[in-house]
A and B are shown apart, each in its own frame.
Chain A
Amino acid sequence: MILDLQHIFKDYNQDKLVVPVLKDVNLQVEEGEYVAIMGPSGSGKTTLMNIIGCLDRPTSGAFELAGTNILTLKDKELSNVRLNSIGFVFQSFHLMPKETALENVSLPLSYAGVKKKERKERALKALTRVGLEDRATFMPTQLSGGQKQRVAIARAMVNNPKILLADEPTGALDSKSGAQIMELFQKLNDEGVTIVMITHDSNIASHAKKVYNIIDGEISQAAEKEEDHEEKN
């Protein structure tokens, strides 16, 4: 089991008022799964993603990532988990605007202390994996939205994380580029990459093999996917 969240609660304190955001969330993701978490804005899906991404800590509950109890880790150890076990993909790409595609992709490697030569090789390999090897020296401003997101995916994949965590990966893209990103996710998943995708868009969510709905901080497995339907019918 890659992800194991048990009875996760998360409250925010706002002006002495305690606002519950996540209420008893249970979520298990197996290695190689492709999961979408779908919900409207304000449903708590971003908070859940921050917890899964080890950026935030729940108020209570238990969370294991690849068998490691995340909640007892110190800040520095959490940094290492983010570095080695999680690959982030954001809605707005978050590329360094003054760095080339290759430099952007090799950024996590430099935090991992990888030597310069190896960094370049591995970054180039990651760019090849997303089909952008010929754009290595391009600046983000010279890339289209879809290409930028693919650079961001290469950056997320470069350290071979245990899980790829995507927050509205197609939210800033036109439908054609969005479809290409979904194709890429499918390809990566076929190669064995575990993907957790957060979205409000049911069309995007339908690309995943398993869809969870999150509404008002409560999670539930959504309308069964086709293969499940087939099984039931």
Chain B
Amino acid sequence: MLENIRLSFKGIWSHKMRSFLTMLGIIIGIAAIIAIVSTIKGTNEQIKENLIGSGDNTVEISLYQGDWTYEMGYEGIPAGVPVINSQMMEEIKNIDHVVGASAYLSRQEYEVYHLNTSISGGNVLGVDNSYFSTCNFIIRRGRGFSEKDYSQFRKVALLDKDSSDALFQGEDPLGKTIEIKKEPFVVVGIVEKSKVFEPTINSIEDYYTYSQDASGKIYIPNSTWPIIYQFDEPQNLVIEVESTDDMTNAGKSAADILNSYVTTSDETLKYKAEDLLEQAKQIQQLSQSTNSMLIWIAGISLIVGGIGVMNIMLVSVTERTQEIGLKKAIGAKKSNILGQFLTEAAVLTSMGGIMGVVSGIILAEIISRLSEMPVAISVPAAVGAVVFSMAIGIVFGVFPSYKAAALDPIEALRRE
């Protein structure tokens, strides 16, 4: 076997130009596939990151009525939906892969003012202190909420960057007063996600996906919530999980726990986890189906390349008739000859495959530079491509190799 591989390299090397041209079909096919796969993978990873937020593995669980989040009227919490208590929180925190959990109140609010500036469609969130650590917030400026803020019902607020930009427009918000439903709150700090995540907006769909995120949030201690709103309201839950892949399952389990406490006769009222991973997968599938078409087309070039290999192997067998005849005369079995030529075909196409992977990676990098699309090199795809091209060599090498092995040594030796 090793001997055959050595002979193959010798043979390929002695016909450098011919071997390269033979490999070219394989090189182009593999390069195209690697470039396409890398682009798909890059785009997919970007979609996943954009939707989910890189490294911030949090899942939001909210009360839904049918397909929509439950809209609070004046009636308060719906009958049969309990307020999330510490026992439920314990259960949720015990779910596998859940790192932290925090319940909070949230409302979309149009009546938030600083002097005459308002923010349209911002969210006011009533949170406890665990919220910021669960969602990986850091206090960028000022301070966070203290125990006393909660116990003494202090009307203090934290802003995120979007809401502070919208309300203060460059002014320093610290110590200033804002009004939420005509109640004054003092801004004590600015919070920020510890891992900054800036989605790339490529399309109008992307814009809608992220616009809700960008409208600004105002955080107040949950103990002060009833000052502006009602006492009992349905809560949202946010859980932090170990990794992105745990999001779907942990979110579902948490929603199930909450739902087990819901006793309402209204079947449509349910807690649901916002499944970003699922959304990401759907978008990925969409891009994948268009690209699998391209892979098929590239696959055709591999078949063409394989036929080229078969062609040149047939030429090679004819050229080396004497060599084959001699080898058979001095005792080579059919299987020896078959093995030698099959190895040569496989080595040839494997080399083509390796060169194809390298040029595919280069091609993908060029595409990403030119189109600003992200690329991610897939190691399994690269390994698979080389193995596949080796298989092409074997498949298309069978016929010429068999022809070589079946040569009559007398005829073969007679040819001078």
State the A residues within 8 Å of B (CB): 50, 53, 55-56, 75-76, 79-80, 82-84, 87-88, 90, 92, 94, 96, 98, 107-108, 110-112, 155-156, 159
Contact = CB atoms under 8 A, between A and B. Distances in A.
A108 B334 contact: no
18 contacts: A55-B328, A76-B334, A79-B331, A79-B332, A79-B334, A80-B331, A87-B330, A94-B326, A96-B326, A98-B14, A107-B330, A108-B330, A108-B331, A110-B3, A111-B327, A111-B331, A111-B333, A156-B330
Contacts of A159: 331
A129 B250 CA distance: 80
Contact of A96 (B323, B329, B334): B323
B201 to A, nearest CB: 61
B416 A83 contact: no
A55 B411 CA distance: 10
A159 B14 CA distance: 29
B416 to A, nearest CB: 7
A54 B49 CA distance: 71
Contacts of A110: 3
Contacts of A94: 322, 325-326, 413
A174 B38 CA distance: 65
Nearest to B13: A98
A94 B336 CA distance: 18
Nearest to B335: A76
Interface in B142-185: none
A228 B333 CA distance: 43
- Chain B interface helix/strand/loop/mixed: helix
Interface in B1-46: 3, 10-11, 14
Contacts of A92: 416
A58 to B, nearest CB: 13
Interface in B305-327: 322-323, 325-327
Contacts of B329: 53, 55, 82, 88
A95 to B, nearest CB: 9
Contacts of B332: 79, 83, 111
Contact of B330 (A56, A75, A88): A88
B337 to A, nearest CB: 10
A108 B329 CA distance: 10
A50 B410 contact: yes
B398 to A, nearest CB: 19
Contacts of B299: none
Contact of B410 (A55, A90, A98, A107): A55
Given A98-B14, A110-B3, A90 B413 contact: yes
A216 B336 CA distance: 37
Interface in B377-416: 409-410, 413, 416
A155 B14 CA distance: 24
B413 A107 contact: no
Contacts of B326: 90, 94, 96
Contacts of B333: 76, 79-80, 111
A111 B339 CA distance: 12
Contacts of A87: 330
Nearest to B320: A96
Given A94-B326, A96-B323, A111-B336, A83 B413 contact: no
A155 B410 contact: no
Nearest to B331: A83
Contacts of A50: 410
Given A55-B409, A111-B336, A155 B10 contact: no
Given A110-B3, A111-B336, A56 B413 contact: no
A176 B142 CA distance: 105
Contacts of B14: 98
Contacts of B10: 98
A64 B129 CA distance: 100
B5 to A, nearest CB: 13
A110 B10 CA distance: 17
A156 B329 CA distance: 10
A98 B320 CA distance: 12
